[in-house]
A and B are shown apart, each in its own frame.
Chain A
Amino acid sequence: MAGLRRIRAFPDGFGVKRRTGGRRSGAGVRIRPLYPEKTSVRLALSPTSPLTLREIVMKAKIIITPKKAVVDPQGKAVQNALEQMGYNGISAVHVGKYLEIDLSASDAENARRQLDEACHKFLSNPVIEEYRLELE
């Protein structure tokens, strides 16, 4: 089965669709963005890959946190609340975002590269945020 199921961070119908059935061309996975012509993130097989290559079901976990230089009032507020509750020894709290992306692809390396690009271009803002991408 080819295709991405859903990026959890988006509500239904927000640009990411479920694709059913494989593509005869064996073109692998395609994350359908809101506006495909501009933000296309393709997880495609290389032209030399055999069409029979089995697809691997994967889960991408993306953790986005504010950069250290950016003031994080949310983290500070949470830290203050924790201290008020009596939890001691907390030196800093940073509040970020967590995204899970379910996908299947035949080439894990390529999938990682494409997801990395999507993180840099869209899912995080490099001016204020850092991200960590895990693929399992």
Chain B
Amino acid sequence: MTFAVLQFPASNCDQDALHALRDVLGQSARYVWHKDTSLGETDAVVVPGGFSYGDYLRCGAIARFSPVMQAVQQFAANGGLVLGICNGFQVLCEAGLLPGALIRNRSLQFRCESVHLKSLTTDSPYTNQIPSDKVLRIPIAHGEGCYFADDETLDKLKAKNQILWQYCNAEGEVTEAANPNGSLLNIAGICNERRNVAGLMPHPERACEAILGSADGCLIFRSLIQALQNKVMSKAA
């Protein structure tokens, strides 16, 4: 499968994402510059972490108007799979591709540590390979990762099964103590109603090899690859 990894000024997880996809998971992956108006031939898009455009105004607010994001909007509208990681999640929320917003951590601290994640569903292109009882261990590194949405949006997220990951403890229990940033409902990642666009604050691309302390991030990318392969097979059938 071919992945497009976006690069904005001050993206800093683009290389990790490319490395995970290409070197660890054996996929074809390439960078797409923020000024490009086309994504070229691609099966999925990764919007990586970092501090796009210096996080000026609001995190992701300026990146969402970049030329490449207009192509991503189109790609998503056509059903293409788009995964936003950390700053990429913020960009997708600002772009209106995902509901809600990410605001300053409740603690006001930049949190850089490993967290535990519970996957709430296997019914998505991003979680289909994650065993339902598996607690993922994946790092976070952010100052603005507190997920916020109004009550109506939260109810809809729950009703439509759009909450993909919640912060939990090592036992898989969703507790206040396990919430690193004050996110409502301990939300770490969500998808849109159509389930083709997803975002999460933790960094799966930094947890794809045992030498990094965890390879749990692979499960998210393997899910994505599986979903793309299913797509190809259903087209061929």
Smallest CB gap from B63: residue in A: A34
- Are B70 and A127 interface neighbours, CB within 8 A? no
B-side binding surface: helix, strand, loop or mixed? loop
A39 interfacial contact with B, CB 8 Å: yes
B58 interfacial contact with A, CB 8 Å: yes
Interface size class of B (residues with CB under 8 A): 20 to 34
Smallest CB gap from A77: residue in B: B108
Interface centre among A38, A73, A127, A128 (most CB of B within 10 A): A127
- Are A71 and B182 interface neighbours, CB within 8 A? yes
A46 interfacial contact with B, CB 8 Å: no
Within the complex, the shortest CB–CB distance from B63 to chain A, in Å, comes to 10
- Are B105 and A73 interface neighbours, CB within 8 A? yes
Contact of A34 among B58, B65, B104 (CB under 8 A): B65
Contact of B56 among A10, A38, A74, A77 (CB under 8 A): A10
Within the complex, the shortest CB–CB distance from B65 to chain A, in Å, comes to 5
- Are A9 and B101 interface neighbours, CB within 8 A? no
B148 interfacial contact with A, CB 8 Å: yes
Contact of A38 among B61, B65, B94, B103 (CB under 8 A): B65
Residues of chain A within 8 A of B148, CB atoms compared: 70-71, 127-128
Q: Which of A112-136 contact B (CB under 8 A)?
A: 122-123, 125, 127-128
B67 interfacial contact with A, CB 8 Å: yes
Q: Which of B134-177 contact A (CB under 8 A)?
A: 146, 148-150
Residues of chain A within 8 A of B67, CB atoms compared: 35, 38
Contact of B146 among A69, A71, A77 (CB under 8 A): A71
Contact of A125 among B58, B62, B106, B107 (CB under 8 A): B58
- A-B pairs with beta carbons under 8 A, tally: 51
- Are A122 and B107 interface neighbours, CB within 8 A? no
B212 interfacial contact with A, CB 8 Å: no
**Cα distance A66–B148 in the bound complex, in angstroms:** 12
Contact of B107 among A9, A39, A73, A123 (CB under 8 A): A73
Residues of chain B within 8 A of A128, CB atoms compared: 101, 103, 148
Residues of chain A within 8 A of B182, CB atoms compared: 71, 73
Residues of chain A within 8 A of B58, CB atoms compared: 125
Smallest CB gap from B150: residue in A: A69
B66 interfacial contact with A, CB 8 Å: yes
A98 interfacial contact with B, CB 8 Å: no
Q: Which of A15-39 contact B (CB under 8 A)?
A: 33-35, 38-39
Contact of B103 among A9, A33, A39, A70 (CB under 8 A): A70
**Cα distance A14–B70 in the bound complex, in angstroms:** 19
Smallest CB gap from A127: residue in B: B101
Q: Mark B19-36, 1 if CB is under 8 A from A, else 0.
A: 000000000000000000
Closest 4 pairs (CB-CB, A-B): A127-B101, A128-B101, A39-B65, A73-B108
Known: A70-B103, A123-B57. 12 other contacts (CB 8 A): A11-B56, A14-B56, A34-B62, A35-B66, A38-B70, A69-B150, A71-B182, A73-B107, A74-B108, A125-B94, A127-B101, A128-B103
